């Protein structure tokens, strides 16, 4: 598969504190990659470096261009960026003008803008939200709006920093369903960071980072089996993995179950 983002020998220090020392990784095109790590592991910094919001000295290639924090216009259309603090930083009073602003910046025609906004609102089933004021939105709706804005200009890569936490069950299901659809239909690459292993279950590929180093990476299912390492870097296993690992320890079962019915059926035949 084609690599869409390549990071080679990345060094980054912040206020004399070394955050990344010789980090290399690649991300496949049209994949859903999760980056997990505990608080202060460098997830957000990595997302910002990939997005070009922090200087990376030509060690990151996005598509066919080097990411350069001084020439961000080279990669703006390539990325859709959702950062955690955007929730407090909306520009306009109402949802509709918040959605028009980025498209006006791209010099799009007025009727095309209208069409695109309706399209994205229908995709998220949020057409009612367009008339609302930003102040009246709940945290969930605000997060959905941030993702909608990021997807407006049809980016190649969507960067989500901690976007999947603090969502209701329905909203999270909806967002994941939409993202997977875009991944399949439009070859969207998704990179999401999180502290919670519950959120990565839907992803294809997982990278675990701890103190600025990649501890392990691989297919999400195989990563969830490595409970020793996950616990060591301070991550909590999802319920089924946790239960089966503990039962395995007592030699009651001999493999990890992800489905509750399978486990119950195998325990008591």
Partner 1 sequence: MEIELKNIGYKYKNKKLLDKIDLVFKEAVITGITGEYKSLLLEIIDAKVKPTIGEVVIDGNQVNNKNLLNIRKNVVLVTQLTENQFSNESIKEEMYFVTNYINYNSKNIEKRMYESLKIVGLDDNYLDRTISSLSSGEKKLVQIAISLVSNPKVIIFDEPFEELDYDNKKLLIKLIKRLKHKYHKTIIIASNDINMLYELTDEIVILKNGKLKVFLKTQKALQDIELLEKLNIEVPNLVKFTNKARAKKIRLMQHRDILDLIKDIYKHV
Within 10 A of 16 (CB to CB), how many other CB atoms are there? 5
- β-bridge pairing 213-219 and 205-210: antiparallel
Task: CB nearer to partner 1: give 85 or 107.
Answer: 85
Which tokens hold the place of 165? 């936490």
Task: CB nearer to partner 1: give 114 or 236.
Answer: 236
The CA–CA distances, whole Å, from 71 to 23, 82, 86, 101 equal 23, 20, 22, 21
Q: Does 165 bind partner 1 (CB under 8 A)?
A: yes
Q: Does 264 bind partner 1 (CB under 8 A)?
A: yes
In the complex, minimum distance from the CB of residue 43 to partner 1, in angstroms, rounded to a whole number:
11
In the complex, minimum distance from the CB of residue 159 to partner 1, in angstroms, rounded to a whole number:
18
Determine which residue in the list 68, 126, 183, 242 makes contact with partner 1, applying CB under 8 A. 242
**Residue 208 — φ and ψ, nearest 5°?**
-100, 120
Determine which residue in the list 56, 162, 193, 220 makes contact with partner 1, applying CB under 8 A. 162
Instruction: Give the rounded distance of the alpha carbon of 266 from its chain centre.
Output: 35
Determine which residue in the list 195, 211, 220, 225 makes contact with partner 1, applying CB under 8 A. 195
Q: Does 250 bind partner 1 (CB under 8 A)?
A: yes
User: CA-CA distance, 15 to 154, in Å (whole number)?
Assistant: 36
Task: CB nearer to partner 1: give 125 or 133.
Answer: 133
Binding range to partner 1, per CB under 8 A, among 24-32, 36-44, 112-120, 143-151: 36-44
Which tokens hold the place of 193? 């960071």
Binding range to partner 1, per CB under 8 A, among 52-60, 67-75, 146-154, 236-244: 236-244
Q: Does 169 bind partner 1 (CB under 8 A)?
A: yes
The CA–CA distances, whole Å, from 261 to 62, 80, 258, 264 equal 43, 39, 9, 5
Q: Does 38 bind partner 1 (CB under 8 A)?
A: yes
Q: Does 236 bind partner 1 (CB under 8 A)?
A: yes
Nearest-5° Cα angle at 199, 194 to 201: 125
> Quick one: 250 exposed, middle or buried, by C-beta within 10 A (0-12, 13-18, 19+)?
exposed
Q: Does 53 bind partner 1 (CB under 8 A)?
A: no
User: CA-CA distance, 139 to 132, in Å (whole number)?
Assistant: 14
- The residues that touch partner 1, with contacts defined as CB under 8 A, are 38-40, 85, 88, 162, 165-166, 168-169, 195, 231, 234-236, 239-240, 242-243, 246-247, 250, 252, 260-261, 263-264, 267-268
């Amino acid at each position: 598969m084609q690599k869409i983002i390549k990071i080679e020998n990345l060094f980054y220090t912040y206020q004399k504190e070394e955050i990344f020392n010789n980090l290399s990784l690649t991300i496949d095109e049209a994949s859903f990659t999760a980056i997990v790590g505990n608080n202060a592991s460098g997830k957000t910094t990595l997302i910002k470096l990939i997005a070009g919001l922090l200087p990376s000295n030509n060690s990151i290639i996005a598509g066919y261009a080097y990411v350069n924090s001084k020439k961000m216009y080279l990669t703006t259309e390539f990325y859709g960026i959702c950062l955690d603090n955007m929730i407090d930083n909306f520009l306009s009073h109402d949802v509709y003008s918040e959605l028009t602003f980025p498209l006006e910046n791209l010099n799009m025609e007025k009727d095309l803008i209208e069409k695109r906004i309706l399209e994205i609102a229908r995709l998220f089933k949020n057409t009612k939200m367009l008339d609302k004021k930003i102040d009246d939105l709940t945290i969930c709706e605000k997060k959905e709006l941030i993702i909608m804005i990021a997807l407006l200009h049809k980016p190649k890569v969507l960067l989500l920093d901690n976007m999947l936490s603090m969502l209701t069950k329905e909203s999270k299901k909806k967002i994941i369903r939409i993202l997977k659809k875009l991944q399949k239909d439009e070859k969207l690459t998704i990179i999401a960071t999180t502290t919670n292993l519950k959120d990565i279950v839907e992803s294809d590929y997982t990278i675990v980072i701890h103190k600025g180093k990649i501890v392990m990476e691989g297919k999400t299912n195989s990563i969830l089996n490595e409970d020793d390492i996950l616990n060591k870097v301070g991550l909590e296993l999802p319920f089924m993995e946790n239960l089966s690992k503990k039962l395995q320890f007592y030699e009651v079962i001999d493999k990890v179950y992800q489905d509750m019915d399978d486990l119950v059926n195998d325990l008591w035949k």
